[in-house]
Structure 1
Amino acid sequence: MKKSLFLYLTILAVLTTLFTYMFLSKEVKFQEERYKRTTTKLRDSIDLVTTKLADANYFSLENNDNAQNYFDSSNDSKSVKYQELIPVVTEKLLDYNSNPKGNPYTGQDQIGANKFIINKVKILNHRWIIADYSDGEIWGEVLLKYFVNEDKTIAFEVNQSLLYQKHN
């Protein structure tokens, strides 16, 4: 009787070990496949976002070699580094927000109690800027020309401005 009990316990232990091994090996394989699928999805998502970002930044001074070359010249004293120019131009344009009548480069006169100020600026190339502006209630966009003068000052000119209809 003792022998058959030990035999049954041994068979039970071997079967339990076998089933546990099979379960864990399939669990590991399942986790590896799930990891591969998730990694593939994430890579695809990253590629998609990278492509969308590249498309969104197509019109930007940072990615436009022709516009960048406009600022490079053989004479280093007249050369302007576009990486340093972008924050300078943006800051100069935003400095006009402190004007009591609002930023004159929105192309809009003050309508209500609030003045129009520029909120966001995107430098498209060596000549054009697009900016978003508002007075807190009314929003608009403006297309500006900018010029880097010989003395490295920045001049702006409003090309086109538009206001969006106010929504109630």
Structure 2
Amino acid sequence: MKNSLLLYLIIIVLLLNVFTYMYFSKQLTFVKDKFAKTEVKLKKDLEAVNTKLVDANYFSLKKNENAQNYFNPDNATKTIQVEMLIPVVTEKLMDLNANPKGNPYIGQDQIGVNKFIINKVRILNHRWIIADFSDGEYWGEVLIKYFVNEDESVSFETFQSLLYQK
């Protein structure tokens, strides 16, 4: 009786070990497969986001070689670095928000008690800027021409402005 009980216990322990081994080995392959599928999905999502980013930056001075060549022509005696130009132009336009009547290049007169100020700026190419502006109640967009003068100062000219309905 003792021998048969010992034999049964050994068989049960052996079966438990086999089932435990099979469970953990299948779980490991399941986790590896799940990780591989997730990695493939994330790579596709990353590629899609990169494609959208490239499309979004299509109209940008940073990506437009023709506009960059305007500032860096082959026969120029003085060239302007585009990487330095973008923050300078943006800063000069945003500094005009300090004007008590609002930014003068918005193209809209003050409607309420708040002044119109520029919130976001995007330099499209060597000549155009698009900007978003608001007074906290009304919102709009403005298309601005900019010029880099011989003395490296920047001048602006409002081309078109639009104010959205409330």
List aligned pairs for 1:78-157, cutoff 5 A.
Answer: 78-157=78-157
- Measure the CA separation in 2 of the matches of 1:106 and 1:77: 34
Aligned residue number for residue 36 of structure 2: 36
Kept in 2: contact 1:78–1:150 (CA 8 A): no
Question: What's the offset of the Cα at 1:3?
Answer: 1.3
- Measure the CA separation in 2 of the matches of 1:128 and 1:85: 13
| TM-score, L = length of structure 1 | 0.95
Q: Secondary structure at the match of 1:61?
A: coil
- Measure the CA separation in 2 of the matches of 1:10 and 1:98: 86
Question: What's the offset of the Cα at 1:5?
Answer: 1.2
List aligned pairs for 1:51-70, cutoff 5 A.
Answer: 51-70=51-70
Aligned residue number for residue 158 of structure 1: 158
Question: What's the offset of the Cα at 1:44?
Answer: 1.1
Q: Secondary structure at the match of 1:63?
A: coil
Kept in 2: contact 1:106–1:118 (CA 8 A): yes
Q: CA RMSD in A?
A: 1.1
Question: What's the offset of the Cα at 1:73?
Answer: 3.1
Amino acid at match of 1:162: L
Amino acid at match of 1:26: K
- Measure the CA separation in 1 of the matches of 2:78 and 2:150: 7
Aligned residues: 166
| TM-score, L = length of structure 2 | 0.96
Kept in 2: contact 1:117–1:134 (CA 8 A): yes
- Measure the CA separation in 1 of the matches of 2:28 and 2:118: 56
Aligned residue number for residue 71 of structure 2: 71
Question: What's the offset of the Cα at 1:111?
Answer: 1.4
- Measure the CA separation in 2 of the matches of 1:117 and 1:125: 22
- Measure the CA separation in 2 of the matches of 1:75 and 1:155: 24
Which stretch shifts more, 70-79 or 46-55?
70-79
Deviations 1:76-128 (A, max 9, x none): 75200000000000000011111111101101111111111101000001111
Aligned residue number for residue 16 of structure 1: 16
